[in-house]
Amino acid sequence: MSARAEAAEATGERILDAALELFWERPTDQIPLDEVASRAGVSVQTVIRRFGGKEGLLAAAVDREASRVSGQRDQAPTGDVAGAVKMLVDHYEELGDRVLRLLGEEDRIPGLREIADRGRVYHRQWCARVFAEALVGLKSTDRKRRLAQVVAICDVYMWKLLHRDAGLSRDQTELALIELLTPLTKEEQ
């Protein structure tokens, strides 16, 4: 890669970093491009030229963050409830409060609903993959219900209820999730 291409790539990453920092600090509709540009050390025109404006910038930031998150969560072991829960709680400890904020704004700010829906689809697919053994051999209706149960137990709101609202420690939150999932992941007698 040439020095010019490397510099352009680094500039794009700085802009995305600045946009994500601001996104987590305040509502999306209160993020001016000039502040993104200032934090990234570039002009507003550079941001627009690179990302086509605020919507393009948000889309690029979401794509990069979704790739990072899936790279992290895709390391979760299949068939290992405790290992999967540890990975999931690691993820929520890092990003759970931010995800909850995004979910709280999705009905108010255009574009966030699509981002939240992408996250829901990914979470469901993750649960289906990680807990696939618990779904094997079930009739369609039973499989659908079982997957919905697993998705609900592994949801960020369950983490919030246990950890934030009930005040459980991280270890106790993990244990509670394992206890909720274990009966669903064992073979039927």
| Spans of all domains in the chain | 1-61, 74-189
Rounded-to-integer distance, Cα 135 and Cα 129, Å: 10
Q: Which pairs with CB-CB distance under 8 Å and at least 24 residues apart come from 102-111?
A: 103/156, 105/27, 105/28, 108/27, 108/29, 109/27, 109/28, 109/29, 111/28, 111/55, 111/58, 111/59
* Residue in this structure with the two tokens 């829906």, named with its chain if needed: 117
pLDDT of res. 1: 62
CA distance 143 to 131: 11
* 1-61: in CATH 1.10.760.10: no
Concatenate the DSSP letters of all residues of 71-133 into one string: HHHTTSPTT-HHHHHHHHHHHHHHHHHHHHHHHHHTTTSTTHHHHHHHHHHHHHHHHHHHTGG
Contact 173, 159 (CB under 8 A): yes
pLDDT recorded at residue 189: 29
**Successive 10-residue mean pLDDT values, the chain, 189 residues:** 83 91 82 92 93 86 86 88 95 91 85 88 96 94 97 98 98 98 75
pLDDT of residue 110: 72
Tally helices (H) and strands (E) across the chain: 9, 0
